[in-house]
Amino acid sequence: MLGRMLKGVSGRSAGKTIAVLFALILILSSLAVAGCAKKGGEPARKDTLIIALGTNISTPDNHYATGLPAIGANSEIGDVLFRLDANGNPIPWLAKSYEWSADKKTLTLTIRDNVKMQDGKTMTSEDVRYSLDRFVKYSIGKAALSMVTEIKAPDATHVTLTMKAPFDPLVRTLAYTTITIYSKASIDGKSKEEIASKNSPIAGPGPYKLVEFDPGDKMVLDAFPNYWAGKPQFKRVIFRMMPEMSSRIMALESGDVDLIDAISPQEADRLAKNSKLQVLNPPAAGIVRVYLNTQKGPLADKKVRQALYYAIDRESIVKNIFLGKAEVAHSFAPSGTFGYTGDYDVYKYDPEKAKQMLKDAGVTNLKFTVLHSPGRYILSQEVLEAMKADFAKIGVDMTIQNMEWGAFSAAIKLPLKDTKMEATLNWWRSVNGDADNAIADYASKYWPPGNNTPFFKNDQYDKLFDQEQSEVDTAKRGAELKEMQKILMDEVPAWVLYRQPNLWAARSDLQGVEISALSCLQPLYKASLKK
């Protein structure tokens, strides 16, 4: 056919004709593909929200998941008992009310009535009890409920949590996104593979249900019309996993995705000038730290860890890499939390002092490797490169070993006898406005596979941890938390660096998206496009 159309046409005219014809073919093909997509049951693009995350979603199950952006994505399937308002006060969610016992050692939750779940079940107190118990057994964040000694479901609408001693932040702690409620029937007795499959998926009371999961690539969720808080506006939500920030930004600018996380301050300033886009900057609660192996390897000596801390120019990192949009961290707990103190941060940038301390410790030709997962934290590669340069000034060689998030997460969970970890860049936070939640993991009982990845052990710290979690006197408890921070800043199981900004970007007509201070998406049932 093409030959007949070109008959009698030659030379430059034929070339132009061919170019026009191929352009026409491409246009017609695109229209045909678009038409087929709609006929095939795929929701129209305006009904689909596509989100690109810098973190890999290794499982749709929050009780096993790592990485808070991934956990936020998974929370569209499950849901939480409470949410926190802008001032950190608990808002009843799946739990419609709560009541303390007279001695404040038992918290009784009243579960919301007639909450439907994606597997057709109605949520009961047993689903809640089972989910809480499962979190305590398996989650990397299990220390959040370490003070709870017993969880019961005495009847169909109540759940009780009992402690050895009162713990005031417990209700706020139950708003932690990882403490996700699921349908017991959808996961009990099933393998991780079954839970992630479309044939027998994990189910919960959230606004979206799992229909497809491909680790390292995407997770596809369809709207659950019976969501108790309101019918979702988007028919489908697709999470794409893009560790490279440049890839996420290109996808947003081209219109291939609608919302992205973890953008740099530089890119935030640039994107904010684009009328088709918007930059979201909710408060941030997380502190970036470099965790150090305190039990074996080149950083096992406290004097070495202290010396190297003096060599890190944290002020320069905040000013030059984050354009002042980050905040230097002066404690293992975020500023503003109950019990916080920055009084014990003595590590002002002083490379000459660092060199002298290493000399006094008899350490020469120091080399170590830091494990790092690119894309998970904003500008973390640049931060490590800056630290590498700082260390080089005092004759220390730091190697950066980049790893995919799943491999990184597996590496930091290895027990002491198997680990080769010397240092890792990671992030931690307070989920309830209390310093305890940010520093509890340094108790020795949380060595990997728990979250005490530095394998830190200090008898006085462990004693204070047990005391503060059972302390009735608020003033005494605050003093104990401060003493724990003093020990951490002296022992240096990690170099606390900065509170990173919580920067996202989206198409300008996207509305109803809520992002927590933990970089977690809140239930997306209100998200929609402006008409």
Question: pLDDT by residue (tens digit) across 272-295?
Answer: 999 999 999 888 888 999 999 999
Q: What are the boundaries of each domain within the chain?
A: 46-60+206-282+502-529, 78-185, 286-499
Would you say 481 and 338 are in contact if contact means Cβ atoms under 8 Å apart? yes
- Reported confidence tier of residue 77, pLDDT bands at 50, 70, 90: very high
The model's confidence at residue 43, banded by pLDDT at 50, 70 and 90, is low
The mean pLDDT value of the chain amounts to: 90
Give CA–CA dist 330/322, Å, rounded.
17
pLDDT tops 70 at residue 478: yes
What's this model's pTM, rounded to 2 decimal places? 0.77
- The β-bridge relationship of strands 494-499 and 423-429 is unpaired
Q: What pLDDT score was predicted for residue 164?
A: 87
Q: Which pLDDT value is given to residue 29?
A: 39
pLDDT at 87 over 80: no
Topology classification of domain 78-185: Dipeptide-binding Protein; domain 1 (3.90.76)
Sign of the dihedral through C-alpha 384, 285, 278, 257: positive
Question: pLDDT digit string (tens) for 157-176?
Answer: 999 999 988 888 899 999 99
User: Using CB atoms within 10 A of its CB, is residue 229 exposed (0-12), middle (13-18) or buried (19+)?
Assistant: middle
286-499: CATH number: 3.10.105.10
Percent of the chain with pLDDT over 90: 76
Distance CA 238, CA 442 (A): 36
* Domain formed by 46-60+206-282+502-529, architecture: 3-Layer(aba) Sandwich (3.40)
